[in-house]
Structure 1
Amino acid sequence: MSSTIPFIDMNIRLNLNELSMLKNGRKYIIPCQSYFNRQSRNDSAKKEYERISNIAKECIGKHQMSITDERAKQAFGELEQMIQELYTKPLSRKLYRRAQREYRIVKRLQKLIRTQSDIIIRRVDKGEGFYLGRKTTMDFKTEEYMNKTEAYQVVTTDQCPLMDILRSVENLLNYLVKHKAITLDRRKKLLPDVNKLKLAYLYTLPKIHKPGIPIRPIISGLHAP
């Protein structure tokens, strides 16, 4: 089981409550956040229902099932009611105090990171804990790695190759359809969603278990063509 104890690689003052919150790890979610949002809980419940129901409707539609028959109407009605109850149900005093306390701690940590531009917070390599260090140090190690490997390129806005890559993918899929290697339906499923399209990018994780804290390069290709 990996440790979630935060690794702090810079001079930064944190109180015990803030350290304890970071120790929870990156997967921890503070409870009942909707009770402290500026948006009303009814509006939050409505927004959450729309998000979940849209995902469900899209999935149902892909399987050629009805989203307007009686079963679907009943299911979506029950889903809306359940979400509304979850968002508006009164909290016990103990849970409310805990949620309020943790919400304030997270807000203080966010303000600290936002106001000190040289702080960077990352997930540690091979672990669930947080790394807090200097952004300039991580940037230097990343640039050093890029120069050493010569496998990456800094892309500016005016030279982004994303659309060229997309056209290449489209041409390949069209070629496969033309030669009956795939069906039109398969082409549609393989074609990237232009509304979610992103260029693959490099980010790094600190290897705190090794001397000198080297970095592990990670390529994020989610939504990349």
Structure 2
Amino acid sequence: MGSFRRIILQNRQRSSSTKNVIGVSPEPYLDLISNPFDKRQWNYLSFGPSYIRVNQSAIRSKCQQETEIKNQHKDIYSKVENHLTGYPHLIPRNNAIFKQYSDHLLDYLNQSYFTPLSYNDQLISLEQAQILGSIRRIIQNMNLIIRVTDKGNNFYIGSAVEFEKKTQKVFSDTNAFIELSDNPFNEILYKVIQLLNTLRGKDLIRKWQYEQMMPDRTTCELAHLYYNPKTHKDGIPVRPIESTIHASTTKISKFLDKILRPIFDAKSNDTTIIDGASLITELSKYNKKGLLKSTTLFCTFDIRNLYTILPQEETLDTLMAFLHAHGYRKVKGISIDTIKKLASIILKDNVFAYGKKIYKQTTGGAMGSSLTLTLANIFMAKWQKNIVEEQTKTGEFYGR
């Protein structure tokens, strides 16, 4: 009896000591009255979206594994091939090196997928698969929604009905989207190809630039819209993001962003705040000048729905004015008038699917398109110009 009591006391002491341990896992944000998940499910969700699970494919059938290998091989190989055949490498597609790479890649994937897991890892994989399945059933049965939080590394879990109300509020508040009765995908794809062919035919863009911007007809698809909840803000509003990875204008957007963003970054370096570390650096400089005092005021502002309030034509004109002001008539051999035409088709032919409906954006640009951030920054640089000049005159600091 005495020994049994000692064991109980030891266990009690251990459990008491564990209460002092602070976990660092990003717990999910639960936007519900009560938690429908048990401890195992909640712990699994707390791993967050970046958690790397034990190889789940090992517990799938051989047929499923082979299909996954085939899909991964196709995806990786096509990306490498497109990169190496484009500028500046320009390796011919019939070069034997591609066949060698394809074979090596396939061997590597087969080895990775079919190498047996240890018994312990198999048990972990099975357990995690069961937990994940039970989480999915709860999500479906209770009509919940799970999303990655905006600017966070954790999950948001809430009512699908309430979340949809938030998304519809974005549509009504911004008034930036119109519903279309027909799917204009083929029309937009043709328009993009025709524009690039015309520019290339007039020698307004070089061959390698033409190839980098030309959409792949076999993989192109309509963009789709989704929302990430802003759990760091009151009321948990949602941020609209377009998945434009296979959209007709994506390659043009990436190309223009690649040549324009370095220009903006170089010209706005003095007022750019990248992160908390850069803010501390700027404040340190401000302090060394003897300007940081007990009476110093710190002011912050937040622009709501920036990407959906930018007037499209004015944004394009602002881009032209920005390039003119800094002495650019051409960028990478492309005239700024041609750049405007390319940027215009990105902004004005932005169509996406949401739910079972198709929409066109009439104001601003797609959040998810590479060029939109650069255009928004250039537009804001014009807007903040007077503020920056006033702050500079008085020795104060402004950053964004």
Alpha-carbon separation, structure 2, partners of 1:174 and 1:15: 58
Pick the aligned partner of 1:31 from 50, 54, 68: 54
Cα offsets for 1:114-150 (capped at 9, x unmatched): 334x211111111010001111111111112211211
Q: What's the RMSD between the two structures over aligned residues?
A: 2.9
Partner of 2:109: 83
CA 1:53–1:149 in 2, change beyond 3 Å: closer, same or farther?
A: closer
Matched, 1:111 2:137: yes
Give TM-score, length-normalised by structure 2. Answer: 0.48
Pick the aligned partner of 2:66 from 35, 38, 43: 43
Q: Which moves more between the two structures, 74-83 or 84-93?
A: 74-83
Work out whether residues 204 and 218 of structure 1, in 8 Å CA contact, stay in contact via their aligned partners in 2: yes
Partner of 2:190: 167
Partner of 2:170: 145
Alpha-carbon separation, structure 2, partners of 1:137 and 1:168: 39
For structure 2, the 5+ residue unaligned runs are 1-23, 249-400
Work out whether residues 49 and 79 of structure 1, in 8 Å CA contact, stay in contact via their aligned partners in 2: no
Partner of 1:120: 145
Partner of 2:210: 187
For the pair shown, which has the larger CA radius of gyration, 1 or 2?
2
Alpha-carbon separation, structure 1, partners of 2:216 and 2:44: 37
CA drift of 1:89 comes to: 2.4
Q: Point out 4+ residue stretches in structure 1 off by more than 6 angstroms.
A: none
If asked which structure has higher relative contact order (CA below 8 Å, sep 6+), I would say: 1
Residue identity opposite 2:44 in structure 1: M
Please give the secondary structure, in 2, of the residue aligned with 1:29: coil
Matched, 1:64 2:91: yes
Alpha-carbon separation, structure 1, partners of 2:163 and 2:68: 40
CA 1:38–1:168 in 2, change beyond 3 Å: closer, same or farther?
A: same
Alpha-carbon separation, structure 2, partners of 1:14 and 1:126: 24
Work out whether residues 146 and 158 of structure 2, in 8 Å CA contact, stay in contact via their aligned partners in 1: yes
Identical residues among aligned pairs (%): 28
Partner of 1:196: 219
Alpha-carbon separation, structure 2, partners of 1:153 and 1:45: 38
Work out whether residues 124 and 206 of structure 1, in 8 Å CA contact, stay in contact via their aligned partners in 2: yes
Work out whether residues 204 and 217 of structure 1, in 8 Å CA contact, stay in contact via their aligned partners in 2: yes
Partner of 1:130: 155
Alpha-carbon separation, structure 2, partners of 1:68 and 1:178: 28
For structure 1, the 5+ residue unaligned runs are none
Residue identity opposite 1:124 in structure 2: T
Partner of 1:178: 201
How many residues were matched structurally? Answer: 220
CA 1:115–1:68 in 2, change beyond 3 Å: closer, same or farther?
A: farther
Cα offsets for 1:137-167 (capped at 9, x unmatched): 1111111221121101234xx5122223223
CA drift of 1:79 comes to: 3.9
Residue identity opposite 1:149 in structure 2: T
